[in-house]
């Protein structure tokens, strides 16, 4: 995360709150995510100083003009005009965090050696909610290099219960 992406996200979140329609902004984020994901060159095009700024603005308007709340489109245009087009994905991620925080939720990034079952995810979510006292949204990924166990990152903390971490602790004790 950069400070810049967080500032843009905070501005967008304030606009969404003022509008009374935060759902429209979340839908706009989903549309923007989809466009960026399906069109890998879009961010490069929007960030390119070789393309006149007016043309880049027209691209934004053609792609999103009818489908995004106008303040959201204006913010994207501002980001592009200030040379921050590559911050758009990080801004959207930060916006989602702010939206979850406003609903009293936290995000837990969960990395495991193998795919967790639905029951394991629910059990982990319940334990994290009890420990942190708030609703948790899990973002799960798999990293076979962990060998076994689970690593959780949430609210600035890391809970590392992976086999790899335990083996590293044993190695450090043996080398002391």
Residue range 141-163, pLDDT digits in tens:
999 887 788 889 987 788 887 77
In terms of DSSP bridges, do strands 135-142 and 157-160 run parallel, antiparallel, or are they unpaired? unpaired
Each residue's pLDDT tens digit, 107-117: 889 999 889 99
pLDDT of res. 52:
93
C-alpha distances in Å from residue 23, one per residue of 19, 30, 96, 100, 163: 10, 11, 12, 12, 41
Phi and psi at residue 159, to the nearest 5°: -110, 105
Q: Give the global pTM.
A: 0.67
Which domains, and CATH codes, for the chain? 3-100 (1.10.520.20), 105-175 (3.40.30)
Q: Residue 38: CB partners within 8 Å, gap ≥ 6?
A: none
Each residue's pLDDT tens digit, 15-74: 998 888 888 888 898 899 889 888 889 999 999 999 999 999 999 999 888 889 989 999
> What Rg, from alpha-carbon coordinates, does the chain have?
20
């Amino acid at each position: 995360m950069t400070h810049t992406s967080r500032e843009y996200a905070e501005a967008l979140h304030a606009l969404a709150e003022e509008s009374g329609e935060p759902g429209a902004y979340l839908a706009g984020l989903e549309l923007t995510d989809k466009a960026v994901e399906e069109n890998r060159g879009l961010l490069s095009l929007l960030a390119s100083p070789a393309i006149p700024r007016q043309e880049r603005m027209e691209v934004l308007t053609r792609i999103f003009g009818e489908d995004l709340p106008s303040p959201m489109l204006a913010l994207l245009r501002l980001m592009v005009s200030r040379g921050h087009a590559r911050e758009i994905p990080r801004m959207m991620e930060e916006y989602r965090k702010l939206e979850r925080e406003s609903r009293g939720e936290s995000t837990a990034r969960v990395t495991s050696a193998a795919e967790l079952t639905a029951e394991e995810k629910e059990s982990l979510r319940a334990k994290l909610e009890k420990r942190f006292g708030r609703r948790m949204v899990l973002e799960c990924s798999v990293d076979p290099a962990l060998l076994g166990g689970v690593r959780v990152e949430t609210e600035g903390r890391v809970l590392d219960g992976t086999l790899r971490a335990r083996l590293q602790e044993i190695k450090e004790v043996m080398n002391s």
